Structure 1
């Protein structure tokens, strides 16, 4: 049948997509890689339908490969007989644990059909939470900033895994960036924090991101041509409204 990679969104249960909800409710079994994704999935799936997969917190490549092969061996027989879902926070194809399972399934169980159900990603959700507007045509780079790393170069960056905000901030500030931090945005577990002070998010937390924007960059907005005091379009200053132009046609 089918293995579905289902994106649950950033963490609040009501941000799961309608398609994602349908897949979860119809799947024979739903696998979760951790307690946060499990807590969202249980809003749509009975506990008895959820299976856990154990993934070690290690960087050892051999240990990780073994864990993913074991996970694939667990999932494959179920997916051959029925519909199976693997849930992940965010989107299955953006910084997701699902990518490891998908590649392992492709290598050892290529007969299993696979389908991705996109989820709301922090890449887009952060803009509302942080009050940021990314203008049409503006460049936006996605970077990882774990361990105090301070990427630089692009005018605008979204930084993931900001696990040492003070160290990251020091480098970004020196490189000419203004930075806003967000922790556990749209997540029901833990305290949500939005701040420009890195000390407020100094404690290590995997779910901390940042938006960095170069100081003084020019922003070409169409609405910049509006007269802020009179709230009128400069083109109307001589009395040429849309109605008069239309009437003269």
Structure 2
């Protein structure tokens, strides 16, 4: 099993209890560079440092990710491999690209992720900014997804978003609480709980 663990924006004390437990219990921990290695140093002294180059050379990036998958696969196949990622694993991270390679080369390996403090939520605390109302988060590329918070009528909201070209929807209700439910596009309920998030993708 491979677990991608979010290790937050830089302060080792901003790791979650679950993240620390997994890092300490793992058969092997992998990190994407020395910054991540330093963040987890209070909890693990022997991580394997992987190369995830910051370059526009897509071919080189793909080869590096393939080599990293080759290093992770034997551990994940027989035990617990933990891949530590700054911020949150699924929020502008390398985890998705690694999973695509694993799916192709090692389809027998299962993986999951544990959320971490993302750069966005860390920024609001560091800068003393409170966010309310609608916001836009982008890396400058074409917008392909939107997220709506506290969606009380998800099916109706999805119908509105379809007019703007969105076709895939996921509703998360009461995440990490008792009664958590995840609904896919064709399962959206008419009404949902206050603690709900609707993802829409193109």
1:73 lines up with 2:70 in the alignment: yes
8 A contact 2:89–2:115 mirrored in 1:
yes
* CA RMSD, 1 decimal: 1.5
Question: CA offsets, 1:160-202, max 9 Å, x none?
Answer: xxxxxxxxxxxxxxxxxxxxxxxxxxxxxxxxxxxxxxxxxxx
- State the 1:145 CA deviation: 5.8
Distance 1:14 1:56 in 2: 27
8 A contact 2:3–2:83 mirrored in 1:
yes
* Aligned match for 1:144, one of 119, 139, 144: 139
1:35 lines up with 2:34 in the alignment: yes
SS at 2:138 equivalent:
strand
Pair member with larger Rg: 1
Distance 1:128 1:57 in 2: 27
* Aligned match for 1:120, one of 117, 121, 124: 117
* Aligned match for 1:83, one of 80, 85, 108: 80
- State the 1:55 CA deviation: 2.7
Question: How many residues are aligned here?
Answer: 141
- State the 1:75 CA deviation: 0.7
TM-score, normalising length: structure 1:
0.54
1:96 lines up with 2:101 in the alignment: no
- State the 1:128 CA deviation: 1.6
Distance 2:32 2:124 in 1: 27
Distance 1:23 1:123 in 2: 24
Distance 2:9 2:49 in 1: 20
